[in-house]
């Protein structure tokens, strides 16, 4: 008997693929490799663990829908402005195709906004969507976030914004840049009304989103090991002509430099948000 | 002129910089103020008080420098967070004394460096956007050369934004755009066209209120007419109540990118 027979995969499925006899057959989405500790994880295990590696606590990226599901109390999320869609306003070459491709993910825009309950507390929630051009901020993104702030201001609601973004969407040129001012203005009005704004920075949060509403929360939280910065690392390296330190622009780095309030693990996130809402006098009105 | 030619003109080393505008428009009345009171004085931003005819105003400009020595000293007009914080400090002071604020924008962008990130470049810009939106005194920003992304916007949340005819204002440098989208920075001319960065483009898109004819260094009459235009705009906005002023400013940005529904 072959001494190493125990090493052979027991999976019979291997031989069903005649063309690639030597390649073990692994159903594509069944396993996922943790990029941090290289452990092969059962995708379902990872997903049930809030998309966090069961071994090393690496936080995988979640898309917008998954986040809404994780945060909002069951069946309480009422989406707003879901019909708003980006168009190629500047006739930018290649942008139509890019939008079409982004929509294949099932997301219509780089942010999902709506009202919901979190721990029984009424709250406005905006979640940027990694599935849609990695949360790139175009005019519709800015418009939806602005409307969310205006709705929260009008209805005296606290607002929680989850950021993920590569920055302003260059295919919409200067109009994207202006969304930074527009969203900041709406955030300021919400703030001036004495209402609570919490931002949760998730990987990656960069560019124009960092330089606007991401950094404007009363309370700024971040997930562990999240890239947060204004300038891109490649641009910085090209400018200063040296390698960047390993933890540069990570959430732990920003915490140390004094730019965020806390790094919170995903498993603690909802809890923490509920606590913070309660500390600001928002309560579970419909509980009795 | 193509968009790329305009970009080159906006970056022209012989172009007038903020220091020139301040000297020609305000002469000896300008007193420079330094520092953000938190970390240091960023020389990429020049700021101070000046007399516009009979009205005291606060002037803030991003300064690129006019020769190699100055450019190094001014960090080529790429501000650090402390520069934006100095600007905000002086804007808050202007609000206290109800002085109008005039900003000259000329930067390829906020500085991308380790120190700048450590000291919160994104946070500094974000705070300016938020605070400028409700600053209870008139603000006018003029792009006199390059308006580079968030680093320019941090001084351009104003009641009106004007551009010199040979200036550009863009979300990203055309070189950066071409290298990210098409992996080829030599396609910058095509990117410049597609990004719509010229004064005329921005005017057509409703992002700026006025295109100003570029003054030449010795052209006192041109500077005089620019002064008059600035003065009239401030007068008009000084006549408004604080609520009207900030509501107009909010609406100015609110309408940009509003879908028709």
Residues A218, A230: one domain? yes
> What b/e string do you get for A180-189 counting C-beta neighbours within 10 Å, with b at 16 or more?
bbbbbbbbbb
Q: Are residues A87 and A102 in the same domain?
A: yes
Strand partners, A192: none
What would the CATH number be for the domain defined by B3-235?
3.90.226.10
- Given the cut 0.90, state whether the ipTM is greater than it: yes
Which 8-state DSSP code applies to residue A235?
Answer: H
pLDDT at residue A20 is higher than 80? no
What residues have CB less than 8 Å from B239, skipping those under 6 apart?
none
Regarding whether A124 and A68 lie in a shared domain, the answer is yes
Do A177 and B150 count as a contact with CB atoms less than 8 A apart?
yes
Interval B41-53 mean pLDDT: 98
The whole-number pLDDT of residue A8 equals 47
Asked if residue A207 and residue A80 are part of one domain, the reply reads yes
Spans of all domains in chain B: 3-235
Q: Which residues contact A66 (CB under 8 A, 6 or more apart)?
A: A51
Q: Based on the domain organization, do A202 and A221 belong to the same domain?
A: yes
How many C-beta neighbours within 10 Å does residue B244 have?
11
* β-strands A159-165, A121-128 pairing: parallel
Q: Does residue A82 fall inside a structural domain? A: yes
* Non-local CB neighbours of A248 within 8 Å, separated by 6+ positions: A233, B114, B117
CATH number at residue A106: 3.90.226.10
For the segment A102-112, what is each residue's pLDDT rounded down to a tens digit?
A: 999 888 999 99
Say how many domains are in chain A. 2
Which tokens hold the place of B246? Answer: 């900030």
Per-residue pLDDT of B124-183, as tens digits, reads: 999 999 999 999 999 999 999 999 999 999 999 999 999 999 999 999 999 999 999 999
Task: List all residues of chain B from 131 to 150 with a beta carbon under 8 Å from chain A.
Answer: 131, 133-134, 149-150
In a shared domain, residues A131 and A203: yes
A5: tokens are 């027979």
Residues A111 and A225 in one domain: yes
Whether the pTM exceeds 0.90: the reply is: yes
DSSP strands (E only) in B109-192: 139-148, 160-164, 168-170
Residue A78 belongs to what H/E stretch?
A: strand A78-80
Please indicate whether, in this complex, the C-beta atoms of A93 and B123 are within 8 angstroms of each other.
no
What the block records as the tokens of A211 is 């330089």
Q: Is residue A138 part of a domain?
A: yes
Closest CA to A95 of B103, B181, B139, B59: B181
- My answer on whether A211 and A92 are in the same domain is yes
Together in a domain, A106 and A189: yes
Give me the phi and psi of B258, to 5 degrees please: -80, 120
Same domain for A258 and A246: yes
CA-based nearest residue to A184, from B195, B210, B131, B191: B131
Q: Pick from B172, B143, B152, B5: which is nearest to A92 by CA?
A: B172
Query: What pLDDT, on a 0 to 100 scale, did the predictor assign at position B115?
Result: 95
pLDDT at B128 (0 to 100): 98
DSSP E strands in A179-247: the ranges are 197-206, 219-222, 228-229
Q: Which of residues 135-154 of A touch B (CB under 8 A)?
A: 138-140, 142-143, 146
The tens digit of pLDDT for each residue in A207-223 reads 999 999 999 999 999 99
Domain range for A32:
24-60
pLDDT tens-digit readout, B14-28: 999 999 999 999 999
- Residues A101 and A45 grouped into a single domain: no
Give the C-alpha separation, A265 to A8, whole Å.
Answer: 38
Chain B segment 151-170 residues within 8 A of A by beta carbon are 153-154, 157, 169-170
Residues A176 and A273 in one domain: yes
Residue pair A60/A46 in contact by the 8 Å Cβ criterion = yes
Per the prediction, chain B carries an average pLDDT of 95
Residue A88, in any domain of the structure: yes
């Amino acid at each position: 008997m072959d001494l190493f027979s125990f090493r052979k995969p027991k999976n019979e499925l291997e031989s069903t693929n005649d063309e690639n006899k030597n390649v073990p057959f692994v159903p594509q989405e069944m396993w996922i490799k943790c990029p941090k500790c290289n452990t092969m994880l059962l995708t379902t295990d990872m997903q049930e663990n809030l998309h966090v590696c069961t071994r090393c606590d690496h936080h995988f990226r979640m898309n917008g829908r998954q986040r809404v599901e994780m945060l909002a109390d069951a069946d309480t999320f009422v989406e707003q402005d879901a019909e708003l869609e980006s168009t190629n306003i500047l006739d930018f070459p290649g942008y139509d195709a890019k939008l079409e491709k982004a929509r294949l993910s099932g997301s219509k825009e780089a942010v999902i906004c709506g009202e919901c309950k979190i721990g029984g507390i009424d709250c406005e929630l905006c979640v940027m969507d990694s599935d849609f051009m990695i949360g790139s901020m175009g005019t519709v993104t800015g418009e939806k976030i602005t409307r969310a702030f205006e709705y929260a201001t009008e209805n005296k609601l606290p607002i929680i914004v989850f950021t993920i973004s590569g920055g302003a969407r260059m295919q919409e040129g200067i109009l994207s840049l202006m969304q930074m001012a527009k969203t900041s203005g709406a955030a300021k009005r919400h703030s001036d009304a004495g209402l609570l704004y919490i931002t949760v920075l998730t990987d990656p949060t960069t560019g124009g989103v960092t330089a606007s509403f991401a950094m404007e929360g009363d309370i700024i939280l971040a997930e562990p090991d999240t890239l947060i910065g204004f300038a891109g690392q490649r641009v910085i390296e090209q400018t200063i002509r040296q390698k960047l330190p390993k933890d540069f622009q990570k959430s732990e780095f920003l915490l140390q430099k004094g730019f965020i309030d806390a790094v919170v693990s995903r498993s603690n996130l909802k809890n923490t948000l509920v606590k913070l809402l309660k500390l600001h006098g928002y309560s579970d009105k419909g509980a009795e | 002129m193509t968009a790329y030619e305009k970009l080159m003109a906006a970056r022209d080393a012989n172009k007038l910089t903020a220091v020139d505008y301040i000297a020609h428009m305000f002469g000896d009345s300008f007193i420079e103020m330094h520092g953000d009171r938190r970390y240091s004085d960023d020389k990429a931003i020049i700021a101070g008080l000046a007399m516009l005819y009979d009205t005291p105003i606060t002037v803030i400009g991003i300064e690129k420098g006019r020769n190699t020595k100055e450019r190094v000293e001014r960090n080529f007009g790429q501000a650090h967070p402390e520069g934006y914080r100095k600007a905000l400090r002086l804007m808050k002071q202007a609000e206290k004394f109800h002085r109008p604020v005039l900003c000259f924008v000329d930067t390829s962008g906020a500085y991308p460096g380790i120190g700048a990130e450590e000291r919160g470049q994104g946070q500094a810009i974000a705070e300016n956007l938020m605070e400028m939106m409700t600053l209870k005194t008139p603000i006018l920003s003029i792009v006199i050369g390059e308006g580079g992304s968030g680093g320019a916007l941090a001084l351009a949340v104003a009641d009106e934004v004007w551009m010199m005819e040979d200036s550009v204002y863009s979300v990203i440098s055309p070189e950066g755009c071409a290298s990210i989208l098409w992996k080829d920075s030599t396609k910058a001319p095509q990117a410049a066209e597609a990004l719509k960065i010229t004064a005329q483009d921005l005017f057509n898109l409703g992002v700026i209120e006025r295109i100003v004819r570029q003054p030449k260094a010795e052209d006192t009459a041109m500077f005089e007419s620019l002064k008059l235009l600035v003065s009239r705009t401030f007068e008009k906005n000084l006549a408004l109540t604080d609520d009207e002023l900030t509501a107009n400013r909010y609406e100015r940005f609110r309408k940009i990118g509003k879908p028709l529904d």
